Structure formats: structure tokens, C-alpha cells
Structure 1
Amino acid sequence: MPNFTHASNAEVSQRVSRRTIAKGAAWSVPVLAASSAVPVMAASCTETKSAEAVVAASATTNPTFGPKTTVEFTVPADVTEITFEVLGGGGGYGSYGNASGSSGITAGSGALVTGTMTVAPGSVLTLVAGNGGAGPAREDQRIVTGGDGYGAGGHTGNPTAINGHTLTGGSGGGGSAILVGGQPAVVAGGGGGIGSIEYFPTNGYAYTTAGATGDGGLPNGDTGHDITITRTGFNDQLFGGGGASGSTPGATRTSALYQASNGNNTRYSRVASNPGLPPSGSGGAGGQGATSPAFYSGNSWGWIQIGGGGGGGGYAGGAGGATSGRLQANSYVYQAGGSGGGGSSFVDDAVVTASAFADGGNAAAAGSAARHPGYVKISYKAPCD
């Protein structure tokens, strides 16, 4: 019979415990070694930075000078995308009496274009902030110039009659843009300037407005306001300037120039507006407002003459406002200038990855002759300094 030696329970337990610990120790060494070999990555750091082009406040008060602002921006290394906000200049309103249109209507707002676009590190972006249109600060102001921009806003008509009463509407707002290599990547259209009405005597007239407001492109520009003027014995309608659509500029919406008399000491006239301009290296300019012929009222008012509102600038320009008038010798006289159409907006789908169009809300307020400019704002993620 074999001679077996029996170990006590305590001895077995002690052997098992030692083997288990030894086995665990043998496996734990490579695990710890593998874990210690994984490198610790440093946390990356980025921050949001920005650049902008804005029109100085000092450049918004002169009715005959409304310069744009241009800023050159070099894309930093490691930046391949920017977020943008581009606002076109608002249309001018006017602060003198009936220069506002005498109907409670508003000038056109600039378009607001927002989104994102791809960029190449080291490339140069040109940011162009368009100025707003202006209005006459007084009677006999004569011409009011449009806001400059990527596509300048159209001037008002230029009534020059002396010894009388002349009045203009508001000029057009300039377009704002981001250019890459001199070519437009984003353009926000400017708003059209409001029209104006002058009449004598001051009672007996009624007028209504209809249609759009001459806003800059969403992406196409609105037409200017239409005005219907009535008095006992006649009803006259004046159409606002056409808005730009894509690369097609705004067209006149009122018949060509004519003047006539019906032989009863009554004269009437209608002067067609100037169309906007198509895209060019400096954008599409808005059309100038028409200038009416001078009518002699035969009373203390003397000669009466009026100018239409200017069209908004942008990718393509909106048309200016036409004029219309009627004179009944020694009885009544009126002259009306139409509103300008809005300029169109644009995005280049080759570089713009997302975009949206909205009313910029910067039309000149009633009673304000000041310019309401646009701007360009960009932001981007860049490594921390």
C-alpha cells in the first residue's frame, strides 16, 4: 500500500493562497507595464476671435457724402472656416416735412446675410461695409447722394428750381460684402430710399400706398412703394422703382417721360426712373431717382420741383423712383417722387457652406436725415495665443 501523507486543511489553504497571489502578481506586472506605456496627450486650446468693418459715426451725417469702410483681413494659419454677418446699408428717409412721403411709410432696410464659409489660411478677405442712404435735412436741399458700398446706393433726383420749393426723397443704401481675391463671396443688398410729396394748397388731397418697402435682397430686392394720389377730378398712380433680382438690376416701373397740357391751363408730367446697374467689379449700383420738370404754381409758392428716391446698391442695383405731377393754374399743384427699389444679395455656393437672409431692420426712421449704415462681422476658431 502506498504511503500517503495527508496535509491538513490549514496547509492546503496556505499553499492555494500563495499560488493565487503569485499567479496574480505574474499577470499584474505586464498590465501595469502596458498601462504606463500610453502617452498622456496635452489638451488642445482654441479661442474665438473676430474682425469687422464698420462705418464711423462721423460718416453718417452728411447728406452729400456717405463713404464706405473697407478692411483687409488675412486668414490666420490653421483657420479653414469663418462665421459671417453682413448687413447692407439702409435707405434714406428725410427729415423735412413731406420729404418723408407724408404717408407714414418707411424706407427700405438693408439685407442681413448670415452663415459660414470655408477659407484658406493665408488668403486675404476684403470686408466692405456699405453706408446708408440719407434724406434732405431741409427744403431746397437738392441732390442727396447714396451710401457708398459694394454697389453704391443711388442718388436722389436733383431739383434745381430757384425762387420756389424743391424737395427730394431719400437716397439708396450701399451694399456690404466679403470679397475673396477681389470676387464676391457674400453680398448684402442695400435698401431703397423713400419718395416724397409736395403740394399746394395743403388741403383737398388724399393718397394711399401699396406694395413692398424697397428692402434689400432676401435674396432679391423689393420694389419701392406705389403711391396713389387723388383730388377732385383726377386720380394719379406713381410706381416705385423695381427691385434687383439676382444679377438682373431693377427696372423702371413707370412710363417714359412725357409732358402734356389739356388746353385748360392744366399741365401734367411723368418722368421715368433710372434703372439699377448689373454686377461689376465694384458691385451693382442703385439707379438715381428721377427729377420732375418745374411747375409754376402761380402764387406765393412760385416754382415747385421734386426728386425721386434712389435705388439700393448690392450684387445688382435697384431702380430709382419716378416722378409725377399735375398743375391746375391758379388752383392747385402737386409733385410726387417715388421710392427706390432694393439691391439684390448674393452668396457663392462654392465657398459658403450655410446661409440665411433676413430683414436687417436698419431703415431710416421717420424724421431722420442721418444715414443708417451696414457692417461686416466675422468670427473664427483659432489656437490660443
Structure 2
Amino acid sequence: MDDVTTIAVGGERPYDVLVGRDLLGHLLRLLDGAARAAVLYAPPLKPHADAIAATLAEAGIVPLAIDVPDAEAGKNIDVAAHCWDQLGAAGFTRTDVVVGVGGGAVTDLAGFVAACWLRGVRWVPVATSLLGMVDAAVGGKTGVNTAAGKNLVGAFHPPAGVLCDLAMLDTLPPVDLVAGLAEVVKCGFIADPAILDLIEAKGADEGSLRELVERAIQVKADVVGADLREGGLREVLNYGHTLAHAIEKVEGYTWRHGHAVSVGLVYAAALGRLAGRLDEATAKRHRSVLAALGLPTAYPARAWPDLLATMRVDKKARGSRLRFVVLDGLAKPSILDGPSDELLRAAYREVEA
């Protein structure tokens, strides 16, 4: 067994993020006192979910396996309602636990199901994708998508703990591993430039991946520990996400989140530069780092009207004013409040395919 790294998330409801391999023993500790545990998973992860269920049963905890549609297809209110029906039929109580096994979509769903059941029960995300480990599983943001947009319905509900089993990355399809790196790059630009230096020097190979994961998790832990409910500081984690969420909606959630974030980061850098907030070299570095990893940095010109309309219902918006996270320099995130339509369009010209 590899050494396990513990990253503490502080705040009003502190918990630990565990990074390592073979972490099922730690899962049992987080489920202490539970008579039942619902294990939510997407079909591709059935073998892993079955192994977790068997471990729970051996420990005297009754497992309730609930399979949900894969990726964003499972992240909606109908699927959540199906899960609540299953919990009700199984007699789930306040001391029982929801376990989300999968990438960001499944852990978002599992957390939302747990947040709403009996007005909040324990839950534990077992992140199996890079995106889930460095972003979705950490921070207590839970939610589902609606016709109006992504993550507009949800709750802040911190987990009892987070498990990031690096062994799951060994078999992750390369396209999904690369997509998850967009969130890692984001963390480098908003808080930890050593991430960017490491990627530029070594890429994201076996020798650097664990350090990249741990550094990205530490960035998010520091932010959400200080601001759970996105009252101020936590907004910086949305760097690149305003356009990214709009792309995902326009694409009917068929684009990988990390691919959309990659384009969103290039756009946010262009917006910051054109607003006179960010130097040209740092703006250009966005494109070079992301492109070197094989991530997209452009999107079709014809999509702009739909993207702008979607961004207007972004959760950072205030009334009719759009707000964007931009950089005032490397690792210096700030807010650009109410940019003009002309500025928004000019920045988009720099990411047009």
C-alpha cells in the first residue's frame, strides 16, 4: 500500500481528503455507526462498486447498490428522485450514509441526494477520475443540472471525508485523464504556479501526477475551508467556468467538463488582458500550457449568441450584470464586474475556431 497523504479541509465542518491507493479500509472508518450505506455508481464502475459493497457487507453494514446513468446524463432531478425512492424503500435513517463512486457527475449527484434526504445525511465521495479528485469531490458543493443550465440547483453539504484512490487513474481512459488536467491547470493559475512549472518541465507523467493531484487538492482545500458557501473567496475557483458551463449547455452536456474549462480558461485570460488586468505573457501561457497537454483552446465563432445568452444566467451574475473571475497577475485572481458586450465579444474572437 502506498503512503496515504492527508489533506485537511477546515471551516465550519472540517474533514480530510485522503490521497493514496487501496483506501477501502479508510472508507469503513468514515462509515462508523451506519447500519446501511447506499453506493451510487455509473455502470462502467460496477466492479469497483461491487468490491465496495462486499467490503461493507463483511463489516456488517448493509449495502444498497444504486446504479445511475453515466456522466452528466445522471445528474438531474429525475435520477435524484429515483435515488430518494430507493433510500425510502430501504428505510434509510439519519445515521446511514451515501457513498458516491465515480467522477464529478456521480459525486455531485450523491452529495445532493445526501443533502436532501432527511435534510442531510453523511456522505462520502470515492473519486475515481482525475476531475473528481481535484475538483468535484472536494468542497461540499453538490447539485444537479436543469434545462436552464448546469449546477443551478444544489446545496452546500460537506462530506464526512473524501477518498482519492490513485489506482483508479491507472485504467482511466487517456482522454478523461487529460480532461481532468484542465482543473489542475486552473489551480496553477489562480494560486499555485508550481503546478504550471511542473507541467512545463515534466508534463503529467507517472512521476509528476501524484504531486499535481495533491497540489490541486490543497489549493481547493485552502479556498473552501475559508469560504464554504461561496460568499467571496470561493468564487475564484470558477476561473474559466463561466464560459465553460455555457459551452457544456450549448453542447447538450456531451463535451467533457475539462475540455470546456480549457477553452474557458483561454477566454478568461483574454478577457483579463483586454480589460487591462493581465499581462500578455501570462495570458499566452494559458494557451501554451493547455495545448501542450492536448486540451482544446478554441470554439466555433457561430456559437457566440447562444453562449452569451447562457452566461447571463450564470450563478455569479448579479441582475443583468455578468461577473467573471479574471487574473490581475499570476496567482492573483479577482472579479471583473459588468464587462461590456463589446469587451466580451472581443475576448471571444481570441478563442474562435
What TM-score does the superposition give when structure 1 sets the normalisation length?
A: 0.22
Higher relative contact order (CA 8 A, sep 6+): 1
Higher-helix-fraction structure:
2
Give the number of the structure whose residues are more often strand, by fraction. 1
**TM-score w.r.t. length of structure 2:** 0.23
Larger Rg: 1
